[in-house]
Amino acid sequence: MIDVTSNILTLLSIDGFGLVNSYKLLSSLESIRTDNIIEALNRKKDFSISSAEWFAKKDKFLEKLDKSQEQKISAIPFTSNDYPKALMELNDFPLVIFVKGKSESLNFQNTLAIVGTRNPTKYTYDNAPEICNIFASRSQSVISGLAIGCDSIAHKAAIKMGIPTVAVLPNGLDEIYPKENANLASEIIDYGGCLVSEYLIGIKPSRYQFVARDRIQAGLSRVGLLLESSSKGGSMHCIRKLEKLRRKVSYLSPQEELKYDQCWSGNKSLKSSEKFTEIFPFSSEEEINKQINDLFFNTPFKKDFEQTSLF
Over residues 266-276, mean pLDDT: 92
Q: What is the predicted pLDDT for the residue at 285?
A: 86
Together in a domain, 6 and 152: no
Together in a domain, 43 and 175: no
pLDDT tens digit sequence for 12-24: 999 999 999 999 9
Over residues 249-254, mean pLDDT: 95
Q: Is the pLDDT of residue 308 over 70?
A: no
Task: Classify residue 95: in a domain, yes or no.
Answer: no
Together in a domain, 300 and 155: yes
Domain with 240, as residue range(s), is 104-305
Q: How confident is the model at residue 1 (pLDDT cuts 50, 70, 90)?
A: confident
Task: Classify residue 137: in a domain, yes or no.
Answer: yes
Burial of 31 per CB tally in 10 Å (0-12, 13-18, 19+) = exposed
Q: How confident is the model at residue 255 (pLDDT cuts 50, 70, 90)?
A: confident
We report the CATH number of the domain holding residue 115 as 3.40.50.450
Q: What is the predicted pLDDT for the residue at 310?
A: 28
Q: What is the predicted pLDDT for the residue at 307?
A: 33
Domain tally, the chain: 2
Q: Is the pLDDT of residue 128 over 70?
A: yes
pLDDT tens digit sequence for 89-104: 999 999 999 999 999 9
Q: How confident is the model at residue 299 (pLDDT cuts 50, 70, 90)?
A: low
Q: What is the DSSP string of 57-116?
A: HHHHHHHHHHHHHHTT-EEEETTSTTS-GGGGGSTT--SEEEEEE--GGGG-SSEEEEE-
Task: Classify residue 88: in a domain, yes or no.
Answer: no
99 Cα distance to chain centroid = 11
Residues 2, 98 contacting (CB under 8 angstroms): no
Q: What is the predicted pLDDT for the residue at 50?
A: 95
Cis peptide before 178 (omega within 30 of 0): yes
pLDDT tens digit sequence for 137-181: 999 999 999 999 999 999 999 999 999 999 999 999 999 999 999
Rounded to an integer, what distance in angstroms lies between the CA atom of residue 63 and that of residue 42? Answer: 26
166 Cα distance to chain centroid = 8
Over residues 120-128, mean pLDDT: 96
Contacts of 164 by beta carbon, 8 Å cutoff, 6+ apart: 102, 104, 105, 108, 140, 141, 142, 158, 191, 192, 193, 194
pTM, full prediction: 0.92
Rounded to an integer, what distance in angstroms lies between the CA atom of residue 192 and that of residue 130? Answer: 22
Q: Is the pLDDT of residue 246 over 90?
A: yes
Over residues 1-8, mean pLDDT: 95
Q: What DSSP designation does 253 have? A: P
User: How many CA atoms does the CB half-sphere of 175 hold within 13 Å?
Assistant: 13
Residues 143, 241 contacting (CB under 8 angstroms): no
Together in a domain, 242 and 300: yes
